[in-house]
Structure 1
Amino acid sequence: MRIGTAKYTYQHDEALFDSRTQYAWLAILACALVAFPFLANEYWLYLACLVAINIGSATGLNILTGYTGLVSLGQAAFMGLGAYTVAVLEGSLGLPVLVNLLAGGAVAMLGGFIVGIPSLRVKGLYLAIATIAASMILHFVFSNWTSVTGGTAGLTVAPARFFGIDLDTAFRFYWMVVPITILMLLGAANLFRTRIGRAFIAIRDRDISAEVLGIPLLRYKLLSFGISSFYAGVAGGLWAYFFRSITPESFPLTMSIFFLTAIIVGGMGTLLGSILGATFITMVPEALKLIVGWLPISADATLILSPVRTIVFGLLIIGFLIFEPLGLQEIWRRTQRFFHLWPFRS
């Protein structure tokens, strides 16, 4: 039973979606996702697949940084672990796609557990530096463990196969990456309705108080690192299947900054922020390409685009921290409230 916003059953209070309006919007969104690949061209399908991969990785980073309060600049390195794991398993054993992706997530999770060990002693800037050091170590491994990673030449990945069909186009790949990303989002949404997710939030808000209340900090910090890295590993595996060629330079430190920018711009500590931020930040380089293409510049545009993109990411972080620290998700919520009250506003 429900009257207004009051909830009278435990099941209703625990429901992810609790109104007919929400279910209606979900149905519209599902129809749009199904119809999109039949209406979009190859370029927009490419962007849609890339956005889905980035949403998965940004969600993982948001679990660690937004919900647990642990800053990490190693997300790209964990994606690399997942990507190389998928590439090796696909090339050597030819295992099913889902097995490879889960294995990539598991290897990245193991790396996350190891990198998360310093989190009990250090936090903030010092923890960020520790994760940068870990990413540099992994980059060294990717570059020099030639027998496994192929060294600087990298590895080539065969296209993913489902039921004997090669997912070798953006149209076909879309039908794998979008459902997996949705499952990752649903998993994260349900995580924070459990004891583990609430422990993460308690650690973020006041870790000393959380420890006094009986929350073992090391266990839950390591678990947060592990879950975040698992998401990054799966996203990295999808990245490998999508681009089908990986090198150590595929996962630079700037990619980690990209994902940190995404959750800051989108809104830390919210899944909607992960979605909006990853989508927005993925589209920024595409917009920059158009702008640079319009400018009367004779030099190669790609030489200009890389530093300009880094500058833009930095400006976005500074701008949102100053003017809208809650990110795009707060702008969306304010817009919702405005239209909800619009007929009665003075």
Structure 2
Amino acid sequence: MSLMSANIRPSGVFDTSYAQDISINRTWWDKLSGYLLFGLLLAIPFLLESTFLGDIVSPSWITTITKIAIFAIAAQGLNILMGYTGQISLGQAAFMAAGAYSSAVFVRELGFTFWTALPAAALFTGFIGLIFGLPSLRVKGFYLAMATLAAQNIIIWMIRYPLDNFTNGVNPLPLENFKPVFFGQTVNHNGMYFIIITLAVLLFLVARNIARTRTGRAFISVRDNDLAAELLGINVFAYKLQAFFISSLYAGIAGTLLAFHTQTILTTQFEFLVSIELLAMLVIGGAGYPLGPLFGAAFVLILNQQVIPNIQPAVGDLVSSVLTFIPKENVVTATKPILFGLILALFLILEPRGLAYRWEILKISWKIRPYSY
């Protein structure tokens, strides 16, 4: 009897540690896989120099991965604004332009280094985001989208015309002579790759942990029901402005990194279509998930830069052979927007929560196997 009573435990909720709570969904393999992925990304430039991989993988993949990291940062900022706070924005590319051009002005005119221009441009862009976030006090939804669309046009117009003495207007603004310096050594192409990947990982970790803070929980409550959040004592307008500031700050960092990566800035790099592509990255990747911007940026950029250019000639030959009245050049030009729009529509219909949601489902199904339900 005493043996039986020793094995009997009272029912109820038992106190557990935080590590025990999160071990249900996050195992040691999750952390290890993250470290391995980060190490692999840092090792890619060295692997491409090897005889085996150098003949298989094109060096252009370094540029593609770098752009994925840059646009993932910008999309992560949009994720904080839209995925966490529920405020739509159609002007994220313009905030990238503000970061790119402000950092260029800082280094060219004020003598800043890359390491001081980066945070200065990020903060400057964040304050611009605060200004254009003011309409969120009175409007939301479609009307807020129109306000951010106005920001897209106003910022690009300001860069091209009133500020052309500093920004070079519609002409390219070169940065070849202002490369970053690290411990007295000028950073080369591979060095810039390491900087961008490291910053992308750090900013991803910051964005992931924002949701766990008081501010992040307030963001989510505003997204779910701003009226109920206000009744609970949350200053809805203040948190909306904070979301605009953080989102614009991320865009400013992304714009600065893009400027120093390409070494030349043009306003055409930040047109309205780029804002739509950033929005598509969030939809495809999954809004509200920390990994969503990374999945979305990788999907969209690989599709636009690796897949579509390789299939455009074949599509042009096929369509022009069937529809002889359409010139092949027109078909090739229309292939990219048609495929991009079609894929975006399919994601909205078939996988509205994005790739990150499907990834979470696959991970959980693997952990609880064979009980996949």
The question of a shared fold, defined as TM-score above 0.5 by the shorter chain, is answered with: yes
**What are structure 1's unaligned runs of at least 5 residues?**
1-5
Distance 1:141 1:320, change over 3 A: same
| CA positional deviation for 1:312 | 3.1
Q: Is the alpha carbon distance of 1:18 and 1:209 closer, same or farther for their aligned partners in structure 2, counting shifts above 3 Å?
A: same
Counterpart check, 1:150 vs 2:158: no
Q: Cα RMSD (Å) of the superposition? A: 2.4
2:285 matched to 1:258? no
List per-residue Cα deviations over 1:299-342 (Å, max 9, x = no partner).
897x8666543333332332212111111112212322343355
Specify the code of the residue in structure 1 equivalent to 2:231: V
Offset at residue 73 of structure 1 (A): 0.5
1:27 to 26, 35, 41: 35
Aligned to 2:81: 64
Segment drifting more, 37-46 vs 80-89? 37-46
Within 5 A, what are the aligned runs for 1:277-296?
Answer: 277-286=296-305, 287-295=307-315
Shift of the 204–344 alpha-carbon distance from structure 1 to 2, 3 Å rule, reads closer
Alignment of 1:135-174 (within 5 A): 135-144=152-161, 145-157=163-175, 158-169=178-189, 171-174=190-193
Q: Which shifted more, 212-221 or 151-160?
A: 151-160
CA distances 1:94-151 after superposition (whole Å, capped 9, x unpaired) = 3222211111111110110011001121111111111111110111111102111111
What is aligned with 1:269? 288
Q: Counterpart in 2 of 1:247? A: 266
Give the AA of the match of 1:64. Answer: L
Letter in 2 for 1:33: L
Q: Quote how far apart the aligned CAs of 1:12 are.
A: 6.3
Q: Is the 8 A contact 1:115 1:131 kept in 2?
A: yes
**Structure 2 residue 358 is the aligned partner of structure 1 residue 331:** yes
* Residues 160-193 of structure 1: CA deviation (Å, up to 9, x unaligned): 2222333342x22111100111111111112111
1:110 pairs with 120, 124, 127, which one?
Answer: 127
**Structure 1 residue runs of 4 or more that deviate by more than 6 Å after TM superposition:** 298-301, 303-306
Cα distance in 2 between the residues matched to 1:49 and 1:305: 27
Distance of aligned partners of 1:345 and 1:102 in 2 relative to their CA distance in 1, 3 Å threshold: closer
Identity %: 37
Return the TM-score normalized by structure 2: 0.84
- The equivalences for 1:207-222 within 5 A come to 207-222=226-241
Separation in structure 2 between the aligned mates of residue 312 and residue 73 of structure 1, nearest angstrom: 21
- Three-state SS of the structure 2 residue aligned to 1:153 is coil
The total of aligned residue pairs comes to 338
Match of 1:8 in 2: 16
Per the TM alignment, residue 276 of structure 1 is displaced from its structure 2 partner at its CA by 0.7
Aligned AA (1:193): R
Structure 1 residues 333, 190: CA separation in 2 closer, same or farther (over 3 Å shift)? closer
* In structure 2, distance between residues paired with 1:307 and 1:254: 15
The letter for the 2-side match of 1:162 is F
Tell me if structure 2 keeps the 8 A contact 1:288–1:305.
no
- Any idea what the Cα deviations from partners look like across 1:200-246, whole Å, max 9, x if unmatched? 00000000000011111111101100000000000000000011111
Write the distance in 2 (CA, Å) between the matches of 1:70 and 1:313: 24
- 2:3 corresponds in structure 1 to none
TM-aligned CA deviation for residue 31 of structure 1: 2.7
Structure 1 contact 72–128 (Cα < 8 Å) conserved: yes
TM-score by length of 1: 0.90
Contact preservation (8 Å) 1:76, 1:255: yes
Pair 1:134 & 2:151 matched: yes
Aligned: 1:39 with 2:66: no
Q: Which residue of 1 aligns with 2:324?
A: none
Label 1:213 to 1:194 Cα distance change in 2 as closer, same or farther (>3 A).
same
Higher deviation after alignment, 151-160 or 238-247: 151-160
SS of equivalent residue, structure 2 residue 170: helix
SS of corresponding position for 2:291: helix
Q: 1:286-305 CA distances to partner (integer Å, 9 max, x unpaired)?
A: 2111111445569897x866
Q: Report the structure number with the largest CA radius of gyration.
A: 2
Work out the CA distance in 1 between the residues paired with 2:156 and 2:328: 28
Aligned counterpart, 1:96: 113
